[in-house]
Amino acid sequence: MAMTTKPAIKPLPRAMLIDMDDTILSAYGRPEIAWNTIAEEFAEELAPLPPREVATAVLAYAQQFWSTAEAAWRMKLGEARRLTVRGGFAALEARGHRALSDDLAARLADRFTTYREEAIFVFPGAHDAIDAFKAHGVKLALVTNGAADMQRAKIERFELTHRFDHIQIEGEHGFGKPEERAYLHAMEALGVTVEDTWMIGDNLEWEVVAPQRLGIHSIWIDVHGDGLPEGSTVKPDRIISSLTELMPG
């Protein structure tokens, strides 16, 4: 009887660049659930509009906005959310629904922000995986986009500081993914080359396409098991659903 063998798992690299939000922390994934939850909280003020219709309009505007937004907006998430809620309200009014006030838009957006912050948690096993990488001598860099104060607060809150050899926050360094220097600077800080390095994260452009251009082995984390978007031409070097899948056996 012929024996079957499992494909060889690539040994751990000298270095890993690891994303934070929706890779280590459950932070911004599944926004439709969050917007529907918040809209339900404001149901009386939104009436007679159904909360789900409001949530759908806001989410659609937000997705359109972020698809072309300049990087500077990542430093002003609260302001961006107020803008996208007003945009969703305007789209509803354009379809013949009653006008909803800017004050209501601001309160709904701010509640979304606090809801998101309250709901963040560390994915099961993420701390253990990072600790295992470190114990095996892998050099680790946390590479995250976003505002300095907000991201640094999460790093402290979820006990990530001591787990990484280098922490690189877009708002502190003045550059972020998918700029080439975001990856090059992190590798330089660790003293490694592209051949030594893996990039791991949930954003196909930031953690797969851009680092692959530099020759970095790029691993896409698909925490919700959704699979690659329909029609996507992106080819991650590996797809995982949890950092624990990379732990040495």
Is the pLDDT at 108 greater than 50? The verdict is: yes
Is the model's pLDDT at 141 over the cut of 70? yes
Q: Among 3-17, 18-32, 61-75, 212-226, which stretch is predicted with the lowest mean pLDDT?
A: 3-17
Q: What is the pLDDT of residue 11?
A: 85
DSSP state of 231: T
Question: What pTM was estimated for this model as a whole?
Answer: 0.87
Rounded CA separation 226/211 (Å): 22
Quote the pLDDT of residue 9: 56
| DSSP code of residue 72 | G
How many CA atoms lie less than 13 Å away from 105 in the CB half-sphere?
A: 20
The rounded percent of the chain whose pLDDT value lies above 90 is 90
Q: Confidence band (pLDDT; 50, 70, 90) for 5?
A: very low
Nearest-angstrom CA–CA distance, 177 and 183? 7
The confidence score (pLDDT) of residue 27 equals: 84
Mean pLDDT of the region 114-128: 94
pLDDT at 248: 85
| pLDDT single digits (tens) 226-247 | 999 999 999 999 999 999 999 9
pLDDT in tens, 193-212: 999 999 999 999 999 999 99
- Mean pLDDT, the chain, integer: 94
The β-bridge relationship of strands 197-201 and 15-18 is: parallel
Q: Which residue has the higher pLDDT, 28 or 168?
A: 168
Q: In what order do the strands lie in the sheet with 197-201?
A: 166-169, 139-144, 15-18, 197-201, 217-221, 238-240
Residue 6 reports pLDDT greater than 60? no
Q: From CA 160, how far away is CA 162, in angstroms rounded? A: 6
Give the pLDDT confidence of 55-98 residue by residue, as tens digits.
Answer: 999 999 999 999 999 989 999 999 999 999 999 999 999 999 99
Does the CA dihedral 207-166-137-25 come out positive or negative? negative
What is the Cα 33 distance to its own chain's centre?
A: 16
Higher pLDDT, 30 or 233: 233
Percent share of the chain, pLDDT over 70? 96
